[in-house]
C-alpha cells in the first residue's frame, strides 16, 4: 500500500481485487508506461509545443523527454523534495509540463497542477494546504506577472522555499534553465539508484487536483496511478485510439482533461501530443493539418470556435477524426457542423475531476443522440439516478446523479468531511448533478444541485466570489448565478441588493470587479453581468431561491459588462 495522505479513503480488499481481476486496475504506473515507450521508441516524437510569439515549434522525442525527466528529478531532489511531498506547477501547455511531471514522479513526489488563471488568493490557500516546498511558474502569461506573484507567496506560505521561473527570473527567484536544464547529472549512477529507490507504486498518489466547488474553498481531488489509469481507458477501449494517433490539446494541462487525456494517456500509449499554450483556433487548425492531429478533448466552446474559424477561412484537416466533447451542453447544430467543417465525429461525454470520463456516446452514434445525451456508462463505471428518498428513478425521471467504480477519486485532500458528505454509502459518490434517465440506459444532465457556474468548461467558484462581494461596503446581499450563453454555456451574473446608503447610487460592475481584483480573485472568475434588485426571492427559511433568479436572467434582464 502506498503512503496514505489525510483525506484519502481506503478501498477494501475485495473491491480492489475485483478491479484487478477485471483489468480495470493493474500493477504498473503511468510512469512505467512512459519509460517503456521511451525505451522502445526513443526517436519517436513525443511532444510538439506551439508557443505564442515563437515562429518555431519545439519538438521532443520520447528519448529526449525521458532524459529530461531524469535531469528534472535530480533537480527536485537537489531542492530538498522528499518522497510523498507535493510539488506545484503553474505553467501553460508546453513541453516543460510533462517533463516536470515525470521528473516529479521519478523523485517520488505528488504533482499539484495549478491552472494558469489562479491568482494570489487561490494559490495562497492551495500552497498552504499542500505544504508545497517548490513552485514552478511561467514568468509572464497573458499579460500577468506570475513570477512576481510567486515571490509574494514566499512570505505568505511558510513551507514555500523555492520559486522557479520558466523564462526571465526576477531577483529572489530561481531560473528554470539554471536549476532544471543546465545540468548533466542524469546518468550519475548514484542518481539512478536513488530514482529506483523513489520509484512510485500504483497505490501512490500521482496528483492532487484542486477544483473550484461550492464550499467556499477549492477542493483537492486525490488520484493514484490506478484511478487515473482507469479513467483514461476510454481512449483505447471505447474510442479505439493508439500509438499511431496524434493528440491535440489546448485545454490546460492543469485540468484533469489536459492532465489525463492530453498528457498521461497519450504518452502512456506512445502517441505524439501537440500543445498550444494559448487558445487560438486558426493556429490550432494549422497545427491539426501540419502535425496530423487525429483527436482532441475539450469543452463545447473549443468545437464552436474551430467551426467558426473554418467558416471564416476553410483549412484542410484531413487526418482529424474525433472530437471528445464535454463540460457544457452540445447544441445539435454543433454535432453536424463538426462533421461538415472539421471532418470529424463528435462524441459527448460526462465526467468530473473526481472520476474522469464516466459516460459517453460512441463513435457512429447519430447526431441527434449525441446532442440529446451524455452517453451511457463505460464498462468499468456504474451510475444511478435517485430521488430524494434514495430510490432509483425510472425512464425520463430526474434525480441526483451518483456514480462509483475504479476511476473514482480517493477523496479530498485534508477534507475527509467534504467527501463523506458526498458519499451515500456502498462506494457511491453524489456528483451534485441532476440527470434524466434515458430509455437507452444513458443519462442527460439537466441541472446541478450544487451551486456552480460553468463558463466554457471552467468551474466558477460561486461561494468564494459571494464571500468576497459580501465584504463590499455597498453590498447588502449578493447571489452569483449562471446566465445562458450560446458560446460559453454560461456566464456569471452577480445579483445584488445594495445597502441603504447605496440604493440611489449602487456599485457598478466595474467597481465590483475592481474589488475582486484587489482581493486577488482570478479575472476569469469575475461576474460578467450585474443586476441590482430591491430584494432577493427567498424560501420561508430565508434561503435565496437562485432558480428564480436564473429564470429571470434567462429573459435577458442583466446589465452587460
- Is residue 213 assigned to a domain? no
Q: Nearest Cα to 183, choosing from 63, 42, 72, 62?
A: 72
| Cell numbers given for 265 | 494517456
- Residue that is written with C-alpha cell 528529478 in the block: 73
Residue 201 reports pLDDT greater than 90: yes
Whether residue 400 sits in one domain with residue 350: yes
Q: Could you tell me which residue, 62 or 215, shows the higher pLDDT?
A: 62
- Is residue 359 assigned to a domain? yes
Which of the 8 DSSP states describes residue 234? H
Confirm if 24 and 200 have CB atoms less than 8 A apart: no
Residue 214 reports pLDDT greater than 60: no
Span 368-394, pLDDT tens digits: 888 888 999 999 999 999 998 999 999
Q: Nearest Cα to 117, choosing from 79, 78, 144, 82?
A: 144
Whether residue 480 sits in one domain with residue 425: no
The pLDDT value given to residue 199: 97
Q: Which of 450, 471, 500 is the C-terminal boundary of a domain?
A: 450
Q: Could you tell me which residue, 518 or 541, shows the higher pLDDT?
A: 518
The pLDDT value given to residue 552: 84
| Cell numbers given for 103 | 521528473
Residue 556 reports pLDDT greater than 80: no
Span 402-417, pLDDT tens digits: 999 999 999 999 999 9
Centre a 10 Å sphere on the Cβ of residue 541 and count the other Cβ atoms it contains.
5
Q: What is the CATH number of the domain that holds 495?
A: 3.30.300.30
| Cell numbers given for 85 | 511531498
Residue 248 reports pLDDT greater than 80: yes
3-state percent breakdown (helix, strand, coil) of the chain, nearest 5: 35, 25, 40
Whether residue 307 sits in one domain with residue 328: yes
Residue 47 reports pLDDT greater than 60: yes
CA angle 90, 94, 96 (to 5 degrees): 70
Q: What is the CATH number of the domain that holds 243?
A: 3.40.50.12780
Whether residue 440 sits in one domain with residue 293: yes
Beta-bridge mates of residue 436 = 398, 444
- Is residue 433 assigned to a domain? yes
Q: Which of 409, 431, 450 is the C-terminal boundary of a domain?
A: 450
- Is residue 8 assigned to a domain? no
What domain range includes position 308? Answer: 230-450
Whether residue 527 sits in one domain with residue 495: yes
Whether residue 476 sits in one domain with residue 445: no
The pLDDT value given to residue 558: 46
Q: Which of 432, 450, 468 is the C-terminal boundary of a domain?
A: 450
The pLDDT value given to residue 539: 56
Q: Nearest Cα to 51, choosing from 91, 20, 105?
A: 91
Span 282-339, pLDDT tens digits: 999 999 999 999 999 998 889 999 999 999 999 999 999 999 998 777 878 899 999 9
Least confident of 57-66, 134-143, 469-478: 469-478
- Residue that is written with C-alpha cell 454509502 in the block: 425
> What percent of the chain has a predicted confidence (pLDDT) above 70?
96
Whether residue 509 sits in one domain with residue 365: no
Q: Could you tell me which residue, 483 or 16, shows the higher pLDDT?
A: 16
- Is residue 12 assigned to a domain? no
Whether residue 435 sits in one domain with residue 460: no
Span 58-110, pLDDT tens digits: 999 999 999 999 999 999 999 999 999 999 999 999 999 999 999 999 999 99
pLDDT band at 124 (very low <50, low <70, confident <90, very high): very high
- Is residue 261 assigned to a domain? yes
| 53: alpha, beta or left? (left if phi > 0; alpha if psi -120 to 50) | left
The pLDDT value given to residue 216: 58
Whether residue 366 sits in one domain with residue 508: no
pLDDT band at 490 (very low <50, low <70, confident <90, very high): confident
The pLDDT value given to residue 450: 65
Whether residue 507 sits in one domain with residue 397: no
- Is residue 546 assigned to a domain? yes
Whether residue 372 sits in one domain with residue 485: no
Least confident of 154-163, 203-212, 504-513, 543-552: 543-552
Confirm if 173 and 145 have CB atoms less than 8 A apart: no
Q: What CA–CA distances, in Å, run from 52 to 6, 58, 262, 278, 333?
A: 40, 12, 19, 7, 31
Whether residue 286 sits in one domain with residue 419: yes
The pLDDT value given to residue 465: 87
Q: Which run of H or E residues covers position 162?
A: strand 162-166
- Is residue 21 assigned to a domain? no
| 80: alpha, beta or left? (left if phi > 0; alpha if psi -120 to 50) | left
Total number of domains in the chain: 2
Question: Where do the H-state alpha helices sit in 137-280?
Answer: 146-154, 176, 189-198, 225-237, 256, 265-268
The pLDDT value given to residue 560: 41
Contacts of 268 (CB under 8 A, 6+ apart): 30, 33, 34, 37, 232
Given the DSSP bridges, would you call strands 58-61 and 45-50 parallel, antiparallel or unpaired? Answer: antiparallel
pLDDT band at 542 (very low <50, low <70, confident <90, very high): low
DSSP for 247-308 reads EEE-S-TTSHIIIIIIIIHHHHTT-EEEEESS--HHHHHHHHHHHT--EEEEEHHHHHHHHH
Amino acid at each position: 500500500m502506498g503512503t496514505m495522505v489525510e483525506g484519502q479513503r481506503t478501498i477494501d480488499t475485495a473491491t480492489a481485487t475485483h478491479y484487478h481481476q477485471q483489468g480495470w486496475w493493474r500493477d504498473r504506473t503511468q510512469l512505467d508506461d512512459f519509460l517503456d515507450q521511451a525505451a522502445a521508441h526513443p526517436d519517436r516524437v513525443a511532444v510538439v509545443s506551439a508557443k505564442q510569439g515563437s515562429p518555431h515549434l519545439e519538438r521532443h522525442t520520447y528519448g529526449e523527454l525521458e532524459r529530461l525527466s531524469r535531469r528534472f528529478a535530480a533537480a527536485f531532489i537537489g531542492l530538498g523534495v522528499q518522497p510523498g511531498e507535493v510539488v506545484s506547477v503553474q505553467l501553460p501547455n508546453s513541453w516543460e509540463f510533462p517533463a516536470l511531471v515525470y521528473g516529479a514522479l521519478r523523485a517520488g513526489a505528488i504533482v499539484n497542477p495549478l491552472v494558469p488563471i489562479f491568482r494570489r488568493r487561490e494559490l495562497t490557500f492551495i500552497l498552504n494546504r499542500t505544504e508545497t516546498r517548490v513552485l514552478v511558474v511561467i514568468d509572464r502569461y497573458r499579460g500577468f506577472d506570475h513570477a512576481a506573484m510567486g515571490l509574494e507567496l514566499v512570505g505568505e506560505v511558510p513551507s514555500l522555499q523555492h520559486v522557479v521561473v520558466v523564462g526571465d527570473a526576477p531577483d529572489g527567484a530561481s531560473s528554470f534553465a539554471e536549476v532544471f536544464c543546465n545540468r548533466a547529472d542524469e546518468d550519475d549512477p548514484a542518481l539512478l539508484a536513488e530514482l529506483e529507490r523513489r520509484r512510485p507504486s500504483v497505490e501512490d498518489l500521482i496528483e492532487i487536483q484542486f477544483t473550484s466547488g461550492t464550499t467556499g474553498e477549492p477542493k483537492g481531488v486525490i488520484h493514484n496511478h490506478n484511478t487515473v489509469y482507469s479513467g483514461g481507458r476510454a481512449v483505447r477501449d471505447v474510442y479505439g485510439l493508439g500509438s499511431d494517433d496524434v493528440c491535440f490539446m489546448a485545454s490546460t494541462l492543469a485540468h484533469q482533461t489536459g492532465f489525463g487525456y492530453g498528457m498521461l494517456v497519450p504518452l502512456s500509449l506512445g502517441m505524439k501530443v501537440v500543445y498550444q499554450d494559448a487558445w487560438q483556433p486558426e493556429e490550432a487548425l494549422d497545427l491539426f493539418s501540419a502535425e496530423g492531429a487525429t483527436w482532441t478533448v475539450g469543452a463545447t466552446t473549443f468545437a464552436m470556435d474551430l467551426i467558426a474559424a473554418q467558416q471564416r477561412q476553410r483549412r484542410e484537416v484531413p487526418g482529424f477524426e474525433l472530437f471528445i466533447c464535454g463540460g457544457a451542453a452540445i447544441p445539435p447544430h454543433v454535432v453536424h457542423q463538426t462533421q461538415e467543417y472539421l471532418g470529424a465525429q463528435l462524441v459527448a461525454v460526462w465526467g468530473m475531476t473526481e472520476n474522469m470520463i464516466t459516460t459517453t456516446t460512441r463513435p457512429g452514434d447519430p447526431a441527434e443522440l449525441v446532442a440529446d445525451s451524455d452517453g451511457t456508462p463505460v464498462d468499468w463505471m456504474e451510475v444511478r439516478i435517485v430521488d430524494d428518498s434514495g430510490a432509483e428513478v425510472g425512464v425520463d425521471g430526474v434525480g441526483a446523479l451518483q456514480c462509483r467504480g475504479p476511476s473514482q477519486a480517493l477523496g479530498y485532500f485534508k477534507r475527509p468531511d467534504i467527501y463523506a458528505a458526498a458519499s451515500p454509502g456502498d462506494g457511491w459518490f453524489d456528483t451534485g448533478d441532476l440527470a434524466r434517465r434515458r430509455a437507452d440506459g444513458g443519462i442527460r444532465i439537466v441541472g446541478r444541485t450544487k451551486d456552480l457556474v460553468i463558463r466554457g468548461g471552467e468551474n466558477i467558484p460561486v461561494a468564494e466570489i459571494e464571500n468576497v462581494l459580501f465584504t463590499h461596503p455597498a453590498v447588502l446581499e449578493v447571489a452569483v448565478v449562471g446566465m445562458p450563453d450560446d458560446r460559453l454555456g454560461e456566464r456569471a451574473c452577480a445579483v445584488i441588493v445594495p445597502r441603504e446608503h447605496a440604493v440611489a447610487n449602487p456599485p457598478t460592475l466595474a467597481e465590483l470587479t475592481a474589488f475582486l481584483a484587489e482581493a486577488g480573485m482570478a479575472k476569469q472568475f469575475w461576474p460578467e453581468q450585474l443586476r441590482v434588485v430591491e430584494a432577493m426571492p427567498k424560501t420561508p427559511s430565508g434561503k435565496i431561491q437562485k432558480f428564480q433568479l436564473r429564470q429571470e436572467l434567462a429573459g435577458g434582464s442583466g446589465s452587460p459588462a
